[in-house]
Structure 1
């Protein structure tokens, strides 16, 4: 299995969470391509850890739909599957809708400023065609209401399903259609600032359903 050329920069005390995030990010970015076979030994050497945290990470990635395993035969990066992505999108949209609805009454001026700053970074990254920065800024934007909602169940579900969507969302952020999200983010902020929890929640749900055209093309 051809792992990324550059050795992962990770601490020697790498735990299973770090292994999970490193492999997850390589899959999301396409460094580990759909259908690519994954070998415990190669991944262990790349990360500089034993096979145990790698195997635990792969098991968790399988639950997230990023990895497929056939016991005794192979482990590979999951192909992009339209049905699975559609299901993940619906769940993710519902969770963000709930998070925003619960967060609106508790958002502070500082929280709203953080959302605006993240959206400004998002717009700048899109203009610069910097997909990595755009994804990070988008994460930062949506993380504010998720954090303020203080709903651990929402956070757990999003942690499981969002990575699968990020693989296809990167395609959107590399195209002109991704710029629509800047205006959608501004609308969410406006409703939040007005204290309209229902309108803000609906705007958040709509924002996460904009991947429908890309998923339909698979």
Structure 2
């Protein structure tokens, strides 16, 4: 038979949807460090079978967001300084790379996207809205990532950035978070002027300045059993 011209729109895998729900719940603190994640409970919570939950938990484990304890259930990982610093180094290097690649390709519309995101970031900071600040910060950095088209860097960032987002929520609620508005503005100016090397350096510094001192790096005791 002839090959059909029309193609079906790609549909997110159920595993990916479960991964995203659990990742977001861990990042925003709904699922706290030490929280037990039994696949049956999570499956009931999300209204899915156990298979995509197990697959998602494996991915979360590779991302450092959960850990399987021998003879016990999977738990949300604690915020550990070593893990945060490792992720920070990788993510900072990837953002430097994508900015360096993106700057020569940026259009005025891309610069406007960055300015708009930074304005929303500043407003969220002023309002003390950590969730909105984190979302605006993601939108800001997504511009260079989109323009660069670097799929490998996108995959690495997607794996390790959620670990930093947990720490970022604490930063965006602090005075230090407000300094990010000025760093963003500096990065925008350098991108607009076409200075790829200087822009890449500022992008890397922006991630390197993230405070990654984990509050209590010791493993917390798992919470009593409960459905998320």
User: What corresponds to 1:50 in structure 2?
Assistant: 49
Segments of structure 2 that go 5 or more residues without pairing to the other structure are 1-11, 217-228
The alignment partner of 2:68 has SS state of strand
1:215 aligns with 2:209: no
1:175 aligns with 2:174: yes
Deviation of 1:120 after TM superposition, in Å, equals 0.3
User: What corresponds to 1:127 in structure 2?
Assistant: 126
1:28 aligns with 2:27: yes
Describe the superposition over 1:37-79 as per-residue Cα deviations: whole angstroms up to 9, x where unpaired: 1111111111111111111110000000001013542200001
Q: Kindly indicate whether the alpha-carbon contact (under 8 Å) linking 1:14 and 1:49 is maintained by their aligned counterparts in 2.
A: no
User: What corresponds to 1:191 in structure 2?
Assistant: 190
1:159 aligns with 2:158: yes
Segments of structure 1 that go 5 or more residues without pairing to the other structure are 1-12
Deviation of 1:206 after TM superposition, in Å, equals 0.6
Q: Distance in 2 between matches of 1:42 and 1:211?
A: 34
Moved over 6 A (4+): none
Q: Kindly indicate whether the alpha-carbon contact (under 8 Å) linking 2:80 and 2:214 is maintained by their aligned counterparts in 1.
A: no
User: What corresponds to 2:226 in structure 1?
Assistant: none
Describe the superposition over 1:14-41 as per-residue Cα deviations: whole angstroms up to 9, x where unpaired: 7111100000000001110111111111
Q: Distance in 1 between matches of 2:180 and 2:130?
A: 14
- When structure 1 is superposed on structure 2, of 54-63 and 13-22 the one drifting more is 13-22
Q: Distance in 1 between matches of 2:33 and 2:81?
A: 13
Deviation of 1:185 after TM superposition, in Å, equals 0.3
Aligned length: 205
Q: Kindly indicate whether the alpha-carbon contact (under 8 Å) linking 1:28 and 1:167 is maintained by their aligned counterparts in 2.
A: yes
Q: Distance in 2 between matches of 1:75 and 1:199?
A: 43
User: What corresponds to 1:109 in structure 2?
Assistant: 108
Higher RCO (Cα < 8 Å, 6 or more apart)? 2
User: What corresponds to 2:205 in structure 1?
Assistant: 206
> CA separation of 1:105/1:81 partners in 2, compared to 1, >3 Å: closer, same or farther?
same
Q: CA RMSD in A?
A: 1.4
